[in-house]
Structure 1
């Protein structure tokens, strides 16, 4: 496919903006349009559950770029306008207001929407955290709250609970796992994270299923659990995960399966690409389809998409990476710990609060984790390259000029 004369990016978050920036850095001179549902300038989401919620950052500090930098991109920003349908064959996007936008290449970067469990919405005092507006509302009510319950013990739930506790709130963190973030960290390290939360006064309710809310006069008063009573609360945060924002793509002609299904070039159809949290792509090194929800991937995948739009034809086979800051501890994870992997301490000491763990399974190293040792964790990334680097393509598969 020849270089398109215009590109439409749907989604104004970090991934969408990175596509625009990379196109311009590579010298693309065609028309670029960025369509976004939110009205404000593109902003970063990781600080929402930490610095913004705690009040140490204001909203402007989350902005990814200044107004002058955005203007210099010479792109059209169509903000406050929700995409409602896509015709992949003609690369035409229809918006909620009835407008139609057509381009030679379309990039889908619509991210995630918070998952809502039945019975965990409606009453006053119940929150989710996905946007700047969500963070502002939650912070306002946390400042008045005495007891909060966070439902969901993944990354977001653990971060919210940690931040609320540092604000002086009586916090309970309830979730189905044996320890916070056990799926992402493995049993041993998740147990250390549980101990950290407990030491700071977070009340943990592991192995807990929530089946509803207790209310009084339209306001939440507690969280009902399956078989173990009600946890009192005057504020509840639902952090039970997210789903890819693909509802508007039904009938588009694309394959949707827990995200927009793409090939290894992040291409969902001729001239249609996906990037960031919404993209499920073929990881050639792992030999399977994956979808990554992290800030680093949003930028790296967007850069790859921009390159492929311009004809570079490169596969996307990243070494997955995420980080989290909780209660004075920085945790960084390279790779993906598998359920059967065993963690071995290779530097530092858990007793001293600083260590690097290498996760291995029957096929070798699968992940590296740093606990307050960021430099050392980065140095151990090389242990994983064999697992996450695609095998060279045979000469017969390489096209000759």
Structure 2
């Protein structure tokens, strides 16, 4: 097992949660301990730089060449850092445990934080930081937070939740430049010329699959490693997790899913297929986020929807259930603090004629 990080495998969901806040340590979120991995040859702190499919060989950054019979590519994704944003002290991305611990250390003295990006990471980080006595501004290039992932209506409602908790949400703006004092960020300058003072800036504007090292390998690359329905990119070569793009049997299109549960399930599915006991991978994508005491859970593919049905909760500004459909099919279901209602909906997702059935389950 080759890994770019020096840490042993750990629960990545904690990166934007307990590890960032300091309530968890890297040891507490570990998925394996040294003694449990004695049967593996671990090469940590090194990256793969090339793949020779014909010779069945992976070359590492130190020149080491590793031969293989079967290869599992799980290189994940890397945070996007725009070329226009300088690398200053106090400016962070959040993908790894080291990123999270560095941000946690910087936040200990911060009073003014700017989060750039209104997707899952940006919204979750902003909510987590605001739980301390810190002024937080969230910059959203789109119309509302979470619009691309969950739709405009839900995004408008969730922007209201953030504002109710004291976050300054700025939509329709992007970062034009950063100001600095002694190589440390001091302010964020927006596209409209507004300057926002900042001790810490967190960039949460997206991720890209780590496939640079595979150029010239002969594998098909298109926003990830293109695989078949069994997650095979070539005979004896599998891709799993954020980097894998495969034809989903239920949704009928190529998908690349950047969720922790997807990576976990694909790892198991690819190993089972290699052992001759697995079939096509057709899970229902799942993601959750905890913000301000709410838990948002989402099953399915929301971006395929042209129908949206909202079921209110006791709090009129926060829905209990949101259904996303296309034609006669339920494509996704979102729940806020209502896991019981989501379970029967999960079984309907991407099934024929499931939209009306889903409506009957949730009522109005």
Structure 1 position 293, deviation (Å): 0.3
Q: Is 2:118 the counterpart of 1:118? A: no
Q: Is the 8 A contact 1:51 1:57 kept in 2?
A: yes
Q: Is the 8 A contact 2:331 2:350 kept in 1?
A: no
Query: Which residue does the alignment assign to 1:191?
Result: 156
> What SS class does the counterpart of residue 254 from structure 1 fall into?
coil
Query: Which residue does the alignment assign to 1:88?
Result: 53
> What SS class does the counterpart of residue 109 from structure 2 fall into?
coil
Q: Is 2:202 the counterpart of 1:237? A: yes
Q: Is the 8 A contact 1:354 1:373 kept in 2?
A: no
Distance, in Å, in 2 between the alignment partners of 1:158 and 1:88 is 40
Query: Which residue does the alignment assign to 2:16?
Result: 49
- 1:262 is aligned, of 218, 227, 240, to 227
Q: Deviations over 1:163-222 (max 9, x none)?
A: 110022100000112221111111222222111111111110111121221222322111
Query: Which residue does the alignment assign to 1:63?
Result: 30
Q: Is the 8 A contact 1:354 1:372 kept in 2?
A: no
Higher normalized contact order (CA 8 Å, seq sep 6+, divided by chain length): 1
Structure 1 position 70, deviation (Å): 2.8
Q: Is the 8 A contact 1:54 1:167 kept in 2?
A: no
- 1:279 is aligned, of 219, 244, 267, to 244
Query: Which residue does the alignment assign to 2:131?
Result: 166
Q: Deviations over 1:115-156 (max 9, x none)?
A: 111222322111111111111111111111110101111111
Query: Which residue does the alignment assign to 1:213?
Result: 178
> What SS class does the counterpart of residue 195 from structure 1 fall into?
helix
Q: Which runs of 5+ in 2 are unaligned?
A: 355-364
Q: Which runs of 5+ in 1 are unaligned?
A: 1-33, 390-401
Structure 1 position 259, deviation (Å): 0.6
Q: Deviations over 1:360-392 (max 9, x none)?
A: 233331111110112221232123140699xxx
Distance, in Å, in 1 between the alignment partners of 2:185 and 2:351 is 51
TM-score (norm 1): 0.84
Distance, in Å, in 2 between the alignment partners of 1:384 and 1:217 is 53
Query: Which residue does the alignment assign to 2:106?
Result: 141
TM-score (norm 2): 0.92
- 1:341 is aligned, of 306, 316, 328, to 306
